[in-house]
Chains A and B, each alone.
Chain A
Amino acid sequence: MARVKVNKVEDLNLIPLMNLFVTMIPLLLLTAAFYHIGMVSVSVPTQSTGESSVETGKASVTVNVKADPKGLTITASSGTISPDELKALDAFIPKKGNMHDAKALTAALERIKRKYEQSDTMMLVPHKTTSYNQMIKLMDAARTMKASVGGKMRKLPLFPVVVVTSLVE
């Protein structure tokens, strides 16, 4: 008499995998970061006796943004551009309520960047009453701009190098 083979489906043993999960989840929960910390790179000017690092061959400007209780005053400085041309870049952005107008700052810096593409440095001169939070918002506004590259909107660097002015000797 021929034997009939019965194909019995074995259940997968999930217990070891469960053990692994139950160990890993508390471990990850303990080390999980529910807030994400980032950094903003800033420097302060220092006195140096070396040669200037400013490139004299390319037309570039350093943008000075002075934040005071009335608003933002934008000026530009450069070793290669005439004072008349620099004067044309000056702008004043009045405060919007209690806060500085970050969008208008981005737009003003964008105009300068489009004219002098090599520029990347912003000197931020906050007023003594300017809050740290407000300073960070101004740096954010100066970091990137949206521009169309090959038909697509991309974020391009605007003035990512920030120097908070206070000369240290």
Chain B
Amino acid sequence: MFDESMGRRNREQQELPILNLNSMMDMLSIILVFLLCNSSAEEQDFVLAKNLSLPGSTSKLGFTKAVQVKITRSELLVEDTFVAKISGHRLVGAEVDGSKIVPLFNMLKRYKALAKSQKNKNTVVLQADKGFSFEVLNSVLRTCAMAGYPQFRFAIQKE
């Protein structure tokens, strides 16, 4: 025979506490909406080079897919291919012919020959550290133009 105290214990064991998920759901919904608002498919294609900080700008122009030239504090790159070394915001050891940076010119010519898409075929996306002077920038711009890329999109950090 069960006594009364044993029956009460059994009932307590069977009644599992229900986890209240409402607060958790609220929190997750807010995080999800925030992340969905902040995610942008366009920016997935943009890989910011290491060792550079972009200048801030009020420009609203979005990302353009084109050949990327990166002027970091330590190297000059086309896409992710090394072109020349940079030290103290100056090009070091690169062959220069007038204002033409020869290895950059040759690399861009190669990219131009390999370009499949006609869209943005004359455009270079330039990622450059905000501390560079126009002297360095000018030789890069001139070289790009000589290689057939007279249009530029300067990458900036939106303010």
Q: What is A's interface to B at a CB cutoff of 8 Å?
A: 11, 14, 17-18, 21-22, 24-25, 28-29, 31-46, 126-133, 135-137, 139-140, 143-144, 164, 166, 168
**Docked complex Cα distance between A139 and B62 (Å):** 16
Q: Is the CB of B154 within 8 A of A39?
A: yes
CB of B38 within 8 A of chain A? yes
- Shortest Cβ distance from residue A117 to the other chain B in the assembled complex, whole angstroms: 22
Q: Is the CB of A11 within 8 A of B134?
A: no
Task: Mark B22-39 against chain A: 1 for CB-CB distance below 8 A, else 0.
Answer: 001100110110011011
Q: Is the CB of B155 within 8 A of A132?
A: no
**Docked complex Cα distance between A18 and B55 (Å):** 41
Q: What is B's interface to A at a CB cutoff of 8 Å?
A: 18, 21, 24-25, 28-29, 31-32, 35-36, 38-40, 43-44, 46, 48, 54-64, 99, 125, 128-135, 137-138, 141-142, 144-146, 150-158
A37: chain B residues at CB < 8 Å are 43, 46, 48, 54, 63, 155-158
Q: Is the CB of A40 within 8 A of B142?
A: no
Sample of 15 more A-B contacts, CB < 8 Å, known A43-B152, A131-B134? A21-B25, A21-B29, A28-B36, A32-B38, A37-B155, A38-B59, A40-B154, A44-B150, A44-B152, A128-B133, A129-B133, A135-B137, A137-B57, A164-B141, A168-B150
Q: Is the CB of A132 within 8 A of B35?
A: no
Q: Is the CB of B151 within 8 A of A43?
A: yes
Q: Is the CB of B55 within 8 A of A133?
A: yes
Of chain B, the residue at the smallest CB distance from A22 is B28
Q: Which of B31, B133, B135 has the most CB atoms of chain A within a 10 A radius of its CB?
A: B133
Q: Is the CB of A46 within 8 A of B145?
A: yes
Q: Is the CB of A133 within 8 A of B130?
A: yes
Q: Which of A14, A29, A37, A144 has the most CB atoms of chain B within a 10 A radius of its CB?
A: A37
B29, B63, B64, B154: which contacts A136 (Cβ < 8 A)? B154
B55: chain A residues at CB < 8 Å are 132-133, 136-137
Q: Is the CB of A131 within 8 A of B133?
A: yes
Q: Is the CB of B151 within 8 A of A33?
A: no
A24, A33, A131, A143: which contacts B32 (Cβ < 8 A)? A24
B152: chain A residues at CB < 8 Å are 41-44
**Docked complex Cα distance between A145 and B138 (Å):** 28
